[in-house]
A and B are shown apart, each in its own frame.
Chain A
Amino acid sequence: MLKNYVKIALRNVQRYKGFSLINVIGLALSMAVCLLIILFIRDQKSYDNFHTDGDRMYRIYADYKAPSNRDNRLYAYSPVPLAEILRTETPGIESVIQIRQGFTANVNHRGNSLRLYGFYAEPSFFDFFSFDLTRGNARTALTTPNSVVISTETATRFFGEADPLGQVLTLDEQGDFTITGVLAPQTHPTHLPLDAITSMATLTPASQTHANQADWTWGIAHNYTYVLLEEGATPEMLEARLPGIIKQHFKPLEHSVLHTLRVQAISDINLATFKGNELGLVLPNFVAYFLLGLASVLMLVACFNYMNLTVARALKRAREVGVRKVVGARRSQIVFQFLVETLLVTFLSLALALVLLEWLLPAFNSLWLISFSKTAISVDFAGDAGLYLVLFGFTGFIALAAGLYPAFYLSRFQPATVVKGQSALRRRSGLTIRRGLTVTQLALSLIFMISTMLLYRQSAFMLKADYGFEAEHVINVNLQGVPYDVFRTAAVASPSVAAVSATSYLPGSGTREGIWLGREGMDKPIKGYEYAIDEHLIDNLGLTLLAGRNFSMDFSTDEDRAVILNETALRDLDLGAPREAIGRTITVDDQTEAEVIGVVADFQSNVIVLDVSPVALTYTPDHFFYANVRIHPGDSERALADLEAIWKTFNRPQSLDWGLYTVQLRNSPEMLIFGDFLRIIGLIAGLAIFIACLGLLAMATYSAQIRTKEVGIRKVMGAGVWNVTLLLSREFMALLLVAVVLAVPLAWLLNNAWLEQFANRIDFGAGTLAAGVAAVAVLALVTTCSQTIRAALVNPVESLRYE
């Protein structure tokens, strides 16, 4: 029987090549995108699923109000003393381990320079987690201060084939570390950054800064606690004990409230609810939901196409259904037959989707988010048996999603009706459902079109945004410890350099330092950002001084006790007009008092997606980390050569780290992520619209075919080409109108929801809505008219003979 079903399915595919091709292309395009997303999420879900006893491993994280927050948030860390309490006081726990953030530094070794991302770990780290060493003793590798275990990649980079064990690496600002072990190449993904692991014993009171090991308040923000539960113990049992531990040990402060501690399985750390201060790069689950949501919408459009075309062709298949029933087929057998047919089409689509996937993978892996998080995916047909399960499972699911409705629809034809002939069926060809599906497709296309237009407009707007300062022709140099005054003296002497200024962070690029600003009489301080600048920055970057004066060497108090505010800070601190604020005293971080000596016009200190924040400019030479070098226009190559030459005179192991300011503004993580979203949504929107147009094309073709006789008769009665075209297109236009009515308010709501997250945004008005509608309408009409005009041009003699 199955053979019979497959045979008839293959012959149908062959006989109706056009329809089959449209179905296969539509399904393949959306399946390729869906598979890409599924493979990505599958890869992400596989994080940390390789540890021995991994099913009993959990991490404890905090629901905590940190000093920098107004409300509680989830953080990946937990208090330092928790580990000891869990070891000594809590039943059901086999072992506990803590690791600590902060071991991230640049390493320069024999001309090789690399930034290492690692952490501090207790000696039992390798007993707890299933990471193997190729060199060194796992039991002793992390027992002594300044010992470090490095990854194979790091070892190869610095030592090549030589044995790295016992060698010393010098880390910037961290000192010398002796290599006590080399990690085996990591073949399974983990949430831990494994470039370098050093011993917890390396920590000294000084290196712990304000994070006292025994402190239950500040100390919370640095350590990560992992537990291995005893056999039979459950995470719920542990979680139930944690509130008691908090109550007994944690003393809440005004800015520091530990609401609760929670437990999560180690294999659930990646793709979980977003938590602050993750140790490594962890993908929050909303990214997965977003990608899955988009892929599902695209899949839905393709499935609708399949359903629509299959139901539309019911007239052609009804007789077969009737005959099968007459000769003894049960309805379930007919349903099964059509599902087999859909399965065949989806497997053909899968083959094409895999070809498309090969083409999509490099583009996907080149997204900033993917390359930055080192989560590139690949398809391994030879070594990944589970991949086949994913492919076949997904294809089966799509076959059911696309095929169930048509199968049930077609199988319900009564043989008595069917055998009478087509005329009895014409009124039953699922018109309402088909109209519904077409309207949904058109509405989704409209929403995609309008959204994509807005995304492109917003992107263009942000790229050309006015930051309130002049970033053109500025090269920012990361001073990397070189004294600013030395650098400046050398740089300004270069003929290609017009001006040089200093800053702690680069306004508008995403890096910044938060502070609390207050004044006498205010209940609560306001959150702001501090930029340490020299007296040249205001002129160099073209900030507008509204009142007061710039920093000056003539005033000895400028270094410690003076501040220049922006207009927003002035307003939020309620200091009145710029002139009125001059001479007033404010507090910085509740401790330092500073006099307002100047007010500058607002500028975009945050990345462009965020609003202007209160900004305090201070004169703090210790924090001059960047030099802004303004070069003469058209002289960039020479200026860079000059800067390279200057840098060499400092005889530093690091190479010159520079960036064009305009590029740095474009390349902030927020802008790059927005670019990624734009590319993903643009691709999916393009595909969804293309698939919907394919569906329309097929529907128009089919509609013209079944109305051949009517067209012939109308032409004999005197109808012209235009009348007939209008007649055949009228229904599509009506459906388009319904889709517009449904989609426009939805598009407006959806797009306003994301646009409102952008402080600097484009105006979203009727213009974009009209343009989106016009674009989809033109595409839909061109598609349908290509078929309706063709049908209208046929000689009526032919039409009637055909019928």
Chain B
Amino acid sequence: MIKTGNLKKVYRTDEVETTALNNVNLEIEAGEFVSVMGPSGCGKSTLLNILGLLDNPSDGTYEFNGNEVAKLSERQRAQFRKGNIGFVFQSFNLIDELTVYENVELPLLYLGTSTAERKERVEAALERTSIIHRKDHFPQQLSGGQQQRVAVARAVVASPKLILADEPTGNLDSTNGEEVMKLLTELNEAGTTIVMVTHSPADAEYSHRIIHLFDGHVVTENYMAKKYAHTPQAPD
């Protein structure tokens, strides 16, 4: 599903040049649950942004479902993201002025989905994340865990093939964090590919594979014990 070749990202200011990613070669198959770990500043979020088509790499190739997407314009990236990629952020990134229902509805609005179908899919997503009872509330009226469940509902409402989660439990207590991880696991079991950036070894254990980054390089890749029947096999 995802294949990167010598992926590189360099940030330049007037005086400083920082290499965030340096020749990252990565392959992720459909249905995988991959965790990306590493110390702060190692390039985890940069990698996630590039994989999520929020940003372009400075160099290298990036194939998404067989399409080369490394050099797409902002407009093309936005078009590609729609319906293909869902995002879950550490800080939830819900729009304060919209209700839970409206926040979840947003991706469908931009997809041009009909009103009736929107209603059906939003309610299904909210049911799936067990937050339907709060659909008319505003984000500020919810706990952190509830907000992250809304964010997950928003990420899945358009049935994307890939969900990118950037420290999804980083702002949550352990109970709420566990609930969110279970939710992501359920989504993965249902066939959605998940790439998650995390600092938490406990959260990483939910995934099939852990990629360790350091100074912009992939330093190790560890395959976890096979938890799920459909999960791709680790190479011998």
Q: Which residues of A contact B (CB under 8 A)?
A: 1, 4, 7-8, 11-12, 15, 319-320, 322-331, 333, 414-416, 419-421
Contact = CB atoms under 8 A, between A and B. Distances in A.
A8 B93 CA distance: 16
Contact of B75 (A323, A331, A420): A331
A329 B93 contact: no
B83 interface: yes
B89 A419 contact: yes
Given A326-B81, A327-B154, A415 B97 contact: no
Interface string B136-180: 000000000000000000100010000000100000000000000
Contacts of A327: 87, 106-107, 110, 154, 158
A407 B130 CA distance: 36
B93 A328 contact: no
A333 B111 CA distance: 12
4 smallest CB-CB distances across A and B, nearest first, come from: A328-B110, A328-B82, A416-B54, A327-B107
Given A319-B95, A324-B106, A330-B79, 16 more contacts: A4-B98, A4-B105, A4-B106, A4-B109, A11-B97, A15-B97, A319-B93, A320-B97, A327-B87, A327-B106, A327-B107, A327-B110, A328-B78, A328-B81, A419-B89, A419-B91
Given A11-B97, A326-B54, A331-B75, A421 B154 contact: no
A762 B206 CA distance: 85
A416 B77 CA distance: 12
**Residue of A7, A324, A327 with most chain B CB atoms under a 10 A cut-off:** A327
A322 B78 CA distance: 11
5 contacts: A326-B93, A327-B107, A330-B78, A414-B55, A419-B166
Contacts of B215: none
Interface in B23-82: 45, 49, 52, 54-55, 74-75, 78-79, 81-82
Given A328-B82, A328-B107, A414-B54, A8 B97 contact: yes
Contacts of A329: 78, 110
Contacts of B95: 8, 319-320, 323-324
A419 B109 contact: no
A400 to B, nearest CB: 23
Nearest to B112: A1
B189 interface: no
A64 B83 CA distance: 75
Contacts of A330: 75, 78-79, 110
Q: Report, as a range, how many residues of chain B touch the other chain.
A: 20 to 34
Contacts of A414: 54-55, 74
B153 to A, nearest CB: 12
Contacts of B110: 324, 327-330, 333
Nearest to B105: A4
B110 to A, nearest CB: 4
B78 A416 contact: no
Contacts of A331: 74-75, 78
B102 interface: yes
Contacts of B54: 326, 414-416, 419
Contacts of B81: 326, 328
B100 interface: no
A12 B97 CA distance: 7
Contacts of A12: 97
B94 interface: yes
A419 B93 contact: yes
A416 B89 CA distance: 11
A399 to B, nearest CB: 20
Contacts of A420: 45
B91 A421 contact: yes
Contacts of B106: 4, 323-324, 327
A802 to B, nearest CB: 15
A416 B154 CA distance: 18
A53 B100 CA distance: 63
B116 to A, nearest CB: 15
A330 B55 CA distance: 15
B193 to A, nearest CB: 17
A11 B109 CA distance: 19
A416 B91 CA distance: 14
Contact of B109 (A1, A323, A325, A326): A1
Interface string B189-227: 000000000000000000000000000000000000000
A487 to B, nearest CB: 81
A323 to B, nearest CB: 5
Contacts of B89: 419
Contacts of B98: 4, 7-8, 11
**Residue of B79, B87, B105 with most chain A CB atoms under a 10 A cut-off:** B87
B131 to A, nearest CB: 17
A419 B89 CA distance: 8
A320 B93 CA distance: 8
A416 B83 CA distance: 18
A119 to B, nearest CB: 65
A414 B87 CA distance: 15
Interface string B111-135: 1000000000000000000000000
A322 B74 CA distance: 13
Contacts of B154: 327
Contacts of B166: 419
Contact of A416 (B55, B97, B158): B55
A420 to B, nearest CB: 7
A322 B49 contact: no
Nearest to B74: A331
A4 B97 CA distance: 10
Contacts of A320: 95-97
Contacts of A15: 96-97
B192 to A, nearest CB: 16
A331 B91 CA distance: 23
Contact of B83 (A324, A328, A421): A328
Given A319-B93, A328-B82, A4 B102 contact: yes
A416 B49 contact: yes
A803 to B, nearest CB: 15
Contacts of A324: 95, 106, 110
Nearest to B166: A419
A771 B102 CA distance: 55
A415 B55 CA distance: 8
B136 to A, nearest CB: 13
Contacts of B158: 327-328
Nearest to A332: B75
Nearest to B94: A323
A416 B158 CA distance: 20
Contacts of B97: 7-8, 11-12, 15, 320
B21 to A, nearest CB: 13
Nearest to B80: A328
Nearest to B93: A323
B87 A326 contact: yes
A310 to B, nearest CB: 15
Nearest to A11: B97
B234 to A, nearest CB: 32
A179 B93 CA distance: 83
A287 to B, nearest CB: 47
A538 B181 CA distance: 106
A506 B119 CA distance: 84
Nearest to A1: B109
Contacts of A326: 52, 54, 81, 87, 93
A171 to B, nearest CB: 73
A415 B97 CA distance: 19
Contacts of B52: 326
B75 A328 contact: no
A421 B109 CA distance: 25
A313 to B, nearest CB: 13
A138 to B, nearest CB: 64
B182 to A, nearest CB: 24
A12 B138 CA distance: 13
B7 to A, nearest CB: 15
Contacts of A1: 109
A420 B11 CA distance: 15
